[in-house]
Structure 1
Amino acid sequence: MELVKPGFGLVFWTALTFIFLLLLLRKLAWKPILGAVSDREQSIKDALASAEEAKKEMQNLQADNENLLKEARAERESMIKDAREVKVKMIDEAKTEAQAEAAKIMEQAKAAIESERNAAVADLKKQVADLSVEIAEKVVKGELADKGKQAALVDKLLSETTLN
């Protein structure tokens, strides 16, 4: 087997065709291909920049959300504390009011009992006075008549009289 040796003409036409094809590709294909690659590279850079900006914005929003959550929790705790204080205050006021009302009712009951007792004592004194006057009348009448009768009359009246 023998190796083929190219001639000068073949090398010349091959080189000329290659240069022509290279110039044609440079004129028609390289600029659009390089432009498309450049546009693609720029769009990737823009997308990366906007993604980085969105990431920073998300971090800022997350931080804001956390701050809002902390504030809401603090406000909720404050409201719960205030509600508990109001509850305790209301209970204390109700107890104080109930104690005052109970004391008032007790005073009214004591006054009513004292009034009833005074009325009963006054009634008893009146009955004793009436009985004493009756006995005195009868004794005086009986004394004027007879001493023996007087003693019998006093005994009889005492046995008939009952104290309520």
Structure 2
Amino acid sequence: MDLLIPAVGLFIISFVIFVIVFLILKKFAWTPILAVLKEREGSIADSIASAERVKEEMAQMKAEHEHVLAEAKAERSKILKEAKDAKDMIIGEAKTQAQAEAKKIISEAYAAIESQKMAALTEVKNQVGNLAIEVAEKILRKELSDKSAQEGYVKELAQEIKLN
């Protein structure tokens, strides 16, 4: 049983050695370890704070990006609407101009047709007048005493006119 109960002297020496080792470890090991742990804790806290700032900046940048994107979409819609309005206006002006040109060409064509018609009628009238004058001239040149000779001569002239 002696082995189970330690001697008092051994206990005191063990205790003194423990206290000396404790003091040495406290001075040379724990203080630097605790300082390193505190420094590490500070850097971790700084990293967490930095990460939070970056997260907030990212959220802000995302909001700005969405705002810019919305503005770009609105601007695109505005430009497309203006382009469509300009296209419609140009098409309308082109149709109006084409209709005016068509009316002008049609009226000029009617005027040309009317002019040619009048020229043709005038020519026909002139030819009829010339024929009447020629017939009258031929009748007047030849004096006929006999009525039957006059009728025969008129028939002859009528046949000539039909042949021409």
TM-score above 0.5: yes
Matching residue's letter, 1:79: I
Using the alignment, how far apart are the partners of 1:163 and 1:61 within structure 2? 103
TM-score by length of 1: 0.92
Amino acid at match of 1:40: R
Match of 1:47? 47
Distance 1:57 1:163 in 2: 109
TM-score, normalization: structure 2?
0.92
* Aligned position for 1:93: 93
Q: 1:33 to 1:163 in 2, by over 3 A?
A: farther
Matches within 5 A, 1:58-137: 58-137=58-137
Structure 1 position 54, deviation (Å): 0.4
Say what the alpha-carbon RMSD is for the aligned residues. 1.8
Equivalent-residue separation in structure 2 for 1:163 and 1:125 (angstroms): 19
Q: Distance in 2 between matches of 1:86 and 1:100?
A: 21
Instruction: Encode CA deviations 1:101-130: one digit per residue, 9 max, x unaligned.
Output: 111111111111111111111111111111
CA distance in 1, matches of 2:25, 2:104: 114
The runs of 5 or more residues in structure 1 that have no matched partner are: none
Deviations 1:19-67 (A, max 9, x none): 1111111111111010011011001100000000000000001111111
Residue in 1 aligned with 2:7?
Answer: 7
Q: Secondary structure at the match of 1:93?
A: helix
Contact 1:142-1:153 within 8 A present in 2 as well = no
Q: What's the % identity of the aligned pairs?
A: 46
Cα pair 1:142 1:149 within 8 Å, conserved: no
**Could you tell me how far 1:139 is from its partner in structure 2?**
2.4
Range with bigger deviation, 57-66 or 7-16? 7-16
Q: Which residue of 1 aligns with 2:162?
A: 162
1:7 to partner: Cα distance: 2.1
**Judging changes above 3 Å, is the alpha-carbon distance between structure 1 residues 46 and 163 closer, same or farther for their aligned structure 2 residues?**
farther
